[in-house]
Amino acid sequence: MSENGCIAVFVKTPELSPVKTRLAAGIGEAAAREFYIASVKAVEALVANAREEFGLTPFWAVAEEEALSHERWHAFESISQGTGQLGDRLHHVYEQLVDRFDFVLFIGADAPQLTLSLLKEADSVMDSHPFAISRTDDGGYSLFAGGKQLPANVWRSVPYSAETTAEEFCLRLRQFGEVAELETTFDVDDLQTLQRLADHSAEGLLPAQIEAIELARQFSHLQS
């Protein structure tokens, strides 16, 4: 198991930017924002646990440059996502970290049900693979881990928010090494996936994760 991996959590600051806009279309802006904050807290607890259990160094990858010192992000060191489209931002964060650590693990704040065992599996598999991914069943991915430099075009040429996002990304990654496939997960992006989270088992999850699931159960009955 690597002793020098890091994990970057991609976040927006809800006090400064719109969050969960697709979910807000289903349950309203206030409820969507409240759920996002709960989801961030769930992921924060998960990542803090990963730091304690197997030594991942945590970072917030913050969308807004002016929010790097915001009180919401005091739990971990904050780094900037930079500017541009999503591919530009992913590349920017990866470039900042890949030379400092044996590998870089990316997650977002969209899957509060991610488990410590999944993070531990990603950490372990990086001993034998240059890359690892956990796909979502809508064609995207909720977790990526990489231990090699990648050209900017690998990130920038991927069609994001598409049914082919993960597959296109993996096709590009395989030019540089094998990609370990981890268990499939899901992100909470809209009312349908919020309802899916509401039905998700809370067994083995942390208290903050269970709180996010309870909030999903409360909000999944709302219609804006």
Distance, CA of 78 to CA of 81 (rounded, Å)? 10
Phi, psi angle pair for 155, to nearest 5°: -80, -45
Q: What pTM was computed for the model?
A: 0.96
pLDDT tens digit sequence for 100-150: 999 999 999 999 999 999 999 999 999 999 999 999 999 999 999 999 999
Determine, yes or no, domain membership for 40. yes
The position carrying tokens 């065992």 is 117
DSSP string covering 148-167, please?
A: S---HHHHHTS--SSTTHHH
Report pLDDT digits (tens) over 179-224: 999 999 999 999 999 999 999 999 999 999 999 999 999 998 876 5
On the question of pLDDT at 2 being above 70, the answer is no
Assigned domain for 153 exists: yes
The percent of residues above 90 in pLDDT, for the chain, comes to: 96
Q: What is the pLDDT of residues 65-105, one digit of tens each?
A: 999 999 999 999 999 999 999 999 999 999 999 999 999 99
Please count the structural domains in the chain: 1
The confidence score (pLDDT) of residue 130 equals 98
**Structural domain of 158:** 5-219
Give the span between the Cα atoms of 180 and 175, in whole angstroms. 14
Q: Examine residue 224 and state whether it is found in any structural domain, yes or no.
A: no
How is 11-64 classified by DSSP, letter by letter?
E--TTTS---HHHHHHH-HHHHHHHHHHHHHHHHHHHHHHHHHH-PEEEEEES-
Q: At residue 30, does pLDDT exceed 50?
A: yes
* pLDDT over 70 percentage in the chain: 98
Q: What is the pLDDT at residue 1?
A: 38
Quote the distance between the C-alpha of residue 204 and its chain's center.
20
Q: Specify if 46 maps to a domain.
A: yes
The CATH number that applies at residue 210 is 3.90.550.10
- Residue 144 lies inside a defined structural domain of this protein: yes
